[in-house]
């Protein structure tokens, strides 16, 4: 069976390089499922989990934005950050979630609500990937 070589890279360096049967991720235009032989594609990614499937195993990554580049035999994910569940500090993510919720609930004029919403999405994504 053919596989896809998947390379996940962040500004801090490579996070993952391995072969998988299928990649599922959320682009800004909707959910994508990519199999070997897929037509070339570039898509912006939203803050979400990337599911990497190999036989009966599924590997999850918490990805915070970036781009997906698809070639027939290779996928490159260029992300602002990407974390394996084992690298995620769940307590820190829960504290970030609480801080973001408090900022969103406060009625102060100096709160950047867009930044707080993004922080909340990142925290929830990190927590969901570990469960």
Average pLDDT of the segment spanning 103-118: 78
For position 11, which CATH number holds? 2.60.15.10
Pairing relationship of beta strands 4-10 and 74-78 according to DSSP bridges: parallel
Average pLDDT of the segment spanning 79-83: 92
Q: Are residues 17 and 69 in the same domain?
A: yes
Domain that holds residue 35: 4-83
Q: Are residues 12 and 75 in the same domain?
A: yes
Average pLDDT of the segment spanning 47-76: 94
pLDDT band at 65, cuts 50/70/90? confident
Q: Which residues contact 96 (CB under 8 A, 6 or more apart)?
A: 119, 122, 123
For position 121, which CATH number holds? 1.20.5.440
Kindly list the distances between the CA atom of residue 100 and the CA atoms of 64, 115, 119, in Å, as whole numbers in the listed order: 16, 9, 6
Q: Are residues 26 and 46 in the same domain?
A: yes
Q: What is the pTM of this model?
A: 0.83
Average pLDDT of the segment spanning 22-39: 93
Q: Over the stretch 5-17, which tens digit does the pLDDT of each residue have?
A: 999 999 999 999 9
């Amino acid at each position: 069976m053919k596989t896809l070589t998947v390379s996940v890279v962040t500004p801090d360096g490579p996070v993952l390089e391995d072969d998988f049967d299928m990649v599922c991720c959320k682009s800004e235009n909707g959910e994508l499922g990519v199999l070997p032989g897929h037509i070339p594609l570039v898509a912006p990614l939203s803050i979400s989990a990337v599911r990497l499937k190999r036989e009966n195993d599924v590997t999850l990554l918490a990805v915070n934005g970036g781009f997906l580049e698809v070639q027939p035999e290779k996928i490159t994910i260029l992300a602002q950050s990407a974390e394996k569940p084992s690298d995620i500090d769940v307590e820190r993510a829960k504290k970030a979630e609480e801080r973001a919720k408090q900022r969103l609930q406060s009625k102060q004029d100096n709160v950047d609500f867009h930044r707080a919403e993004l922080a909340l999405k990142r925290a929830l994504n990190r927590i969901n990937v570990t469960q």
